[in-house]
Structure 1
Amino acid sequence: MLKLTIRLAAFAIVLAALGTTSARAEYSLCNKTSFALSAALGFVEEDNLLTRGWWRLRPGECKTVISEGIEAGRYYVYAEAIPGHRGELKTWSGETPLCVQNDSLFTLRDQSVCKEDPKRSRDFNGVDVTSEDGGNFTTDFTDENNFTTYQAQVAGVQRLLSDVGFDIGAIDGQFGATTKSALRQYRRSRNLGQDGVIDDQVIDALITEANNEDAKLGFFFCNETLLPVWAAFAQPTDDREGYRSSGWWLLEPDSCAKVRRGELAAEPYYVYGIMQAEDQELVLAGGDTTFCVSAVQFDAGSDLACEASGFDEASFRRIDTGGERAWTFVFRAEQFNQDLVRTEEPAAEVIADEEPSEQ
């Protein structure tokens, strides 16, 4: 399958040579955005390309990620905002697809794993380090605001306070009266002290709370069959003028995946799945609405003529969530048509407002 298509945020990635201060050269990542980031790095070690992550970067934080000697060559960097931030997922990325381990710390020396699970692919940005540069190196994750590290820290607290429901006004990196008041209220209500200062403790508490709230929202797939399931999903576009189908999520037995972030809209959603048996592919029965799909990773609008645009067509099953904020669709073996012919819809169980099991 092709590499995962990732929505890009406005970004700039800057390589800075800081000068030689000791015999040891280090590589650091610095977050100058208003988002808390999860970052990863790719580099060559003993003739093997490996990726390593995830490093949590608080807004305004710089962190050394390689403390041993830095050799000249190409490095690859990637970062994405934590899930707890509202809105579309923001990424700082490039054009080189590399593999990662989702949702956990990792050092990955096998870049072939994305062939089996393309959702583990991220588009890294290449950074060239030359022997003439020398010294220690820092990659800055920035955005259109060009914050200093202090301004990024303040803006990050503003964004996180907004994420958990506090009114802070503009996210501008200015530590004004509104921000100080909201921060003081937050600290007091969470037993984090009476003052309104910014420190790592309050930032970490905000990150945890925002992520915990996000974990309760969205659309989830869970696989309770004994076989792998390739799943696809169709959801309303942002303007509610149409739908967008996307896939594939590889669901191993007894695994779950979030396929849509944030609180659900009132409109129906649509699901599709293929269960991989040894000698055949069994299709999810009960489909009633056609959307575009592809044999590789895809993202397609419902306004496309599928065949003319290079896609296939598949019948997705409609799911009415009834206004729930979260929904879990459970794939079970009896939902798949054993004859590979779509017939009438079998009984299916869905679970509303329930988090998936830990993976």
Structure 2
Amino acid sequence: MMRLPVRIAACLALLGLAAFAAPRAGAAEICNETSYVTHIAAAWAVEGGVAIEGWTRVRPGECAEVAQEVDLDASTQPLFFYAKSTTAYLGGVREWRGTVPLCVDETDFQVVANTRCAALGLASRDFFMREGDARERTVLVEPSEFGRRAQVAGIQRLLQSAGYAVTGIDGYDGRSTRRAVARFQSEAGISGNPGDAALIDALEARALERNAGSGLIVCNEADGDIATAIGHRAGEIWQSRGWWRIHAGECARLLASRLETDNAFVYAERVSGQGRRPMSGGNERFCLAPARFVSEGRTECAERGYTAAGFRRVPQPENGGVRVTLTEADFQGLRQ
């Protein structure tokens, strides 16, 4: 999963969001200035633990009220948020997160919990915290800050994920974007002007259907978290990149593009308080770095500031996708 930035919206007029209605008293507001359809979870302290609820769906260019049960005027307690993109996108799920681990479920949920998520049958995600006036309004952004162009950028990204040719994700309604929209509407039987919100919904449904089983999915059935990396051919260039943190009992799509041949490889390390235990049985060498990385080429790793590790070739894909499941038995090497 890729982590993306969060920004406090101290002055929405400067961000091109002045047209959004102000949240009602007592509600916090999250605005989505990214090119992704996002799902939001919110949390706040209550007697007996932390109240956590999700998921609130927010389209690109829209805002939503969350944590509506909290009286922001009367309370000084911080709020906590976690956001993720839907699974429709090429490149996998994106996250907007922090450092506070709290419990979530895969489907819509409301729960009062502490940090013992596994005992409740829940997953753990790292939430970011908002305090004081910053609790009232938060803006999710990408490195390319789209601002008022987020809605068009969202349509463009969904068009790409649904298999339509778009020149780039820039938030400008150019000729290639209009052609791709017209082609999609014709093929989907959508006439007239459905509006941007309805168009985003229809494109997301098409992309989800197209990409549901494609790419490389890694599932973790080890006793704890694993950190994963992949090696694959990107055009004419071999590339390795990582890391994705996958909690025990969960899966993540590391490559969302369709796989036509078995030219993808996977590497993982079992993460615990005693260190990291490398995956055994890999014999295809790729380059690694200790932090998030992208390395082109699979030779001369040390000369280029990387270390080398043995990756495993993934099985032959079926219908453009493959699933790899790792268990505790896959991690029998020495601790690092």
Question: Structure 1 pair 196/48, CA: closer, same or farther in 2 (3 Å)?
Answer: same
Report the 3-state secondary structure (helix = DSSP H, G, I; strand = E; otherwise coil) of the residue aligned with 1:208: helix
Report the 3-state secondary structure (helix = DSSP H, G, I; strand = E; otherwise coil) of the residue aligned with 2:200: helix
What does 1:106-185 correspond to in 2, within 5 Å?
A: 106-114=109-117, 120-130=123-133, 137-143=136-142, 144-148=144-148, 151-185=149-183
Deviations 1:235-278 (A, max 9, x none): 21776355757665423xxxx7345231347434247799xxxx
Task: Name the counterpart of 2:53.
Answer: 52
1:214 aligns with 2:218: no
Question: Structure 1 pair 172/268, CA: closer, same or farther in 2 (3 Å)?
Answer: closer
Partner amino acid, structure 2, of 1:147: G
Partner amino acid, structure 1, of 2:90: R
Deviations 1:69-109 (A, max 9, x none): 33333112222222212235433233x22224243112232
Report the 3-state secondary structure (helix = DSSP H, G, I; strand = E; otherwise coil) of the residue aligned with 1:189: helix
Q: 2:82 aligns with which of 78, 81, 86?
A: 78
State how far apart, in whole Å, the 2-side matches of 1:173 and 1:123 are.
29
Task: Name the counterpart of 1:348.
Answer: none
Partner amino acid, structure 2, of 1:328: R
The offset of 1:315, in angstroms, is 8.2
Partner amino acid, structure 2, of 1:43: W
Task: Name the counterpart of 1:90.
Answer: 94
For these two proteins, the number of residue pairs brought into alignment is 300
Q: 2:321 aligns with which of 310, 319, 326?
A: 326
State how far apart, in whole Å, the 2-side matches of 1:75 and 1:216 are.
36
TM-score, L = length of structure 2: 0.67
State how far apart, in whole Å, the 2-side matches of 1:62 and 1:46 are.
29
Partner amino acid, structure 1, of 2:141: T
State how far apart, in whole Å, the 1-side matches of 2:184 and 2:227 are.
40
State how far apart, in whole Å, the 2-side matches of 1:178 and 1:243 are.
30
8 Å Cα contact 1:48/1:109 also seen in 2: yes
State how far apart, in whole Å, the 2-side matches of 1:220 and 1:327 are.
6
8 Å Cα contact 2:5/2:140 also seen in 1: no
Larger radius of gyration: 1
TM-score, L = length of structure 1: 0.64
Report the 3-state secondary structure (helix = DSSP H, G, I; strand = E; otherwise coil) of the residue aligned with 1:73: coil
8 Å Cα contact 2:33/2:139 also seen in 1: yes
Between 36-45 and 100-109, the greater mean CA deviation after superposition: 100-109
Task: Name the counterpart of 2:31.
Answer: 30
State how far apart, in whole Å, the 1-side matches of 2:256 and 2:95 are.
17
8 Å Cα contact 2:33/2:150 also seen in 1: yes
When the two chains are superposed, the root-mean-square deviation of aligned CA atoms in Å is 4.7
1:8 aligns with 2:12: no
In structure 1, runs of 5+ residues without a counterpart are: 1-5, 275-283, 293-297, 342-359
The offset of 1:122, in angstroms, is 2.9
Deviations 1:99-125 (A, max 9, x none): 2424311223223235779x9333322
Question: Structure 1 pair 232/41, CA: closer, same or farther in 2 (3 Å)?
Answer: closer
The offset of 1:39, in angstroms, is 1.4
Task: Name the counterpart of 1:262.
Answer: 256
8 Å Cα contact 1:270/1:317 also seen in 2: yes
8 Å Cα contact 1:52/1:100 also seen in 2: no
Partner amino acid, structure 1, of 2:156: Q
1:204 aligns with 2:201: yes
8 Å Cα contact 2:33/2:147 also seen in 1: yes
Report the 3-state secondary structure (helix = DSSP H, G, I; strand = E; otherwise coil) of the residue aligned with 1:109: strand
The offset of 1:289, in angstroms, is 6.9
State how far apart, in whole Å, the 2-side matches of 1:54 and 1:88 are.
18
In structure 2, runs of 5+ residues without a counterpart are: 13-17, 271-278
Deviations 1:107-159 (A, max 9, x none): 23223235779x933332221125xx9xx9322223332412xx322221122
The offset of 1:35, in angstroms, is 1.5
Partner amino acid, structure 1, of 2:40: A
State how far apart, in whole Å, the 2-side matches of 1:229 and 1:23 are.
42
State how far apart, in whole Å, the 2-side matches of 1:104 and 1:47 are.
23
8 Å Cα contact 1:39/1:55 also seen in 2: yes
Task: Name the counterpart of 2:275.
Answer: none
Question: Structure 1 pair 113/268, CA: closer, same or farther in 2 (3 Å)?
Answer: same
